[in-house]
């Protein structure tokens, strides 16, 4: 089945940190989950004689609405069970993240709940969360394990992530092994690294789902030497390196990311100037996760301090339970003066450079040969994509060419576009 989207408003073909390539109206031809053609308004309908009802073509009139690429969430903790919403009161009472962890909260609390959950329950949770992400325009997700810590549960979390990869109209998923998320109870750092190297890494490689490894490289969690040992071993086995660095204090994570050639080093709220420069010189992306400092009452950092390439991601996790990239972007747009185009690049083309798809298709842009992942806004202008925090700006999302309608906007959808000819 072929589909032509027509009567559009702005169509953003590609956003970069310095430019937004936008057509003022376009016809888009989609088939087999791939963008097959892009032309000026009316051209494709005329070329394909698409109004002929005998042709196997579906016409979709979007009634002047803007179209942008599908969004890429390049840092999430998608699969876990439990509830830590009460920890906000502890933080407001003056307890630090480390204090809460030392009193039985934090990551270990989620680990306990997740280990107790069945694989079926975790799969249902993951599917629900993935559908929420689509509602907010996300068509590809990087999903980390990390709330199992033991080998059995870590493998279970990776299986659950794989079970939703490309299922129906859910996002495609890249799988990252985060076995070094925290030190399990009763273990030392050395014990943990030995277990990860001797038992868990071989099991993850044998499973064959994870394409990357990640470490929470932070004083009080995993130090520089331990992080380097595990990351080098993982890289030698063909896994990409992704890192959590310098979230609460400058522990040298940025410099380590640069020396190892990490794909991305995320958080970086406390990374020093030398570390930022080193990452830029080494081509390491900085992943800004503004939702987490916002939720934890920590100051945001200006994205321009990255010096080189950078992205925006949701960091969905028990402390930041938001899967809305428009919300994450709005924090930096409204608090740091970031332009909507820069923000859009950070969750499309730039994010595409740091993520992989199991089908190998290009993503993050609307171009011939790319996956047919795109968003249709409620407005005719693309600029409003990150200006309605708390509400999705999208009328619909196309995931691999299949339309998913949303009913969560601020205005009535009086002209919801039906998939019928001539409309």
Strands 10-16 and 2-6: unpaired
pLDDT tens-digit readout, 381-400: 999 999 988 899 999 999 99
% residues pLDDT > 70 (the chain): 95
**Coil, helix or strand at residue 72:** strand
Of residues 418 and 265, more confidence is placed in 265
Per-residue pLDDT at 91 exceeds 90: no
Range 2-69+365-405: architecture per CATH: Roll (2.30)
pLDDT beyond 60 at 60? yes
Q: Which residues pair with 37 in a beta bridge?
A: 29
d(CA 335, CA 406): 28
Residue 92: the pLDDT is: 85
Sign of CA dihedral 64, 69, 70, 74: negative
Tokens of 53: 């009802």
**What CATH class has 71-352?**
alpha beta
Task: Look at residue 408 and tell me whether its pLDDT is greater than 90.
Answer: no
> pTM of the full predicted structure?
0.95
* Residue 350, token pair as written in the block: 């730039």
Q: Across residues 112-132, what is the average pLDDT?
A: 98
The CA-based angle 254-313-357, given to 5 degrees, is: 95
Give the β-pairing of 19-24 and 27-31: unpaired
* pLDDT score, position 416: 54
Report the Cα–Cα distance between both ends of the chain, in Å, rounded: 17
Distance CA 396, CA 375 (A): 6
Average pLDDT of the chain to the nearest whole number:
93
Name the 3-class secondary structure at 342. Answer: helix
Q: Which residues pair with 376 in a beta bridge?
A: 67, 396
**DSSP-H helix ranges across 72-150:** 87-92, 97-102, 106-116, 119-135
Tens of pLDDT along 327-384?
999 999 999 999 999 999 999 999 999 999 999 999 999 999 999 999 999 999 999 9
Tens-place pLDDT, residues 270-312 = 999 999 999 999 999 999 999 999 998 899 999 999 999 999 9
Q: How far is CA 188 from the centre of its chain?
A: 32
For residues 269 and 407, give the distance between their C-alpha atoms in angstroms, rounded to a whole number.
36
Domain limits of the chain?
Answer: 2-69+365-405, 71-352
213 Rama class: left (phi>0) / alpha (psi -120 to 50) / beta? beta
Residue 376's nearest CA partner among 12, 131, 35, 4 is 12
Residue 50: the pLDDT is 61
């Amino acid at each position: 089945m072929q589909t032509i989207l027509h009567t559009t408003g702005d169509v953003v073909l590609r956003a970069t940190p310095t430019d937004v390539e936008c057509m003022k109206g376009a016809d888009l031809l989609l088939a087999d989950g791939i963008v097959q053609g892009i032309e000026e308004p009316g051209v494709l309908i005329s070329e394909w004689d698409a109004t002929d009802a005998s042709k196997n073509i579906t016409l979709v009139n979007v009634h002047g609405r803007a179209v942008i690429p599908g969004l890429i969430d390049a840092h999430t903790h998608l699969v876990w069970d439990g509830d830590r919403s009460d920890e906000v009161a502890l933080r407001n009472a003056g307890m630090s993240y480390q204090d809460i962890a030392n009193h039985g909260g934090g990551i270990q609390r989620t680990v306990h709940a997740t280990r107790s959950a069945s694989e079926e329950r975790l799969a249902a949770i993951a599917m629900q969360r993935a559908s929420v992400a689509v509602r907010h325009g996300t068509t590809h997700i990087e999903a980390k394990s990390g709330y199992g810590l033991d080998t059995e549960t870590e493998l279970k979390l990776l299986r659950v992530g794989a079970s939703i990869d490309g299922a129906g109209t859910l996002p495609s998923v890249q799988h990252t092994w985060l076995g070094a998320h925290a030190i399990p109870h009763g273990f030392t750092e050395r014990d943990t690294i030995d277990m990860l190297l001797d038992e868990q890494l071989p099991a993850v490689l044998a499973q064959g789902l994870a394409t990357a490894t990640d470490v929470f490289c932070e004083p009080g969690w995993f130090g520089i030497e331990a992080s380097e040992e595990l990351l080098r071993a993982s890289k030698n086995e063909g896994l990409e390196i992704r890192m959590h660095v310098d979230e609460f204090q400058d522990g040298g994570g940025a410099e380590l990311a640069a020396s190892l050639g990490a794909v991305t080093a995320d958080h970086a709220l406390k990374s020093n100037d030398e570390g930022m420069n080193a990452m830029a010189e080494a081509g390491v992306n900085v992943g800004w996760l503004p939702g987490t400092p916002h939720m934890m009452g920590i100051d945001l950092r200006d994205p321009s301090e990255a010096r080189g390439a950078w992205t925006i991601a949701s960091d969905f996790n028990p402390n930041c339970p938001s899967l809305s990239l428009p919300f994450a972007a709005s924090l930096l747009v409204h608090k740091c003066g970031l332009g909507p185009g820069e923000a859009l690049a950070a969750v499309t083309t730039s994010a595409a450079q740091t993520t992989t798809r199991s089908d190998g298709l290009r993503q993050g842009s609307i171009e011939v040969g790319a996956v047919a992942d795109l968003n249709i806004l409620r407005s005719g202008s693309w600029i409003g994509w990150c200006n309605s925090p708390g509400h999705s700006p999208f009328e619909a999302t196309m995931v691999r060419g299949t339309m998913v309608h949303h009913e969560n906007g601020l205005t009535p959808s009086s002209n919801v576009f039906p998939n019928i000819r001539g409309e």
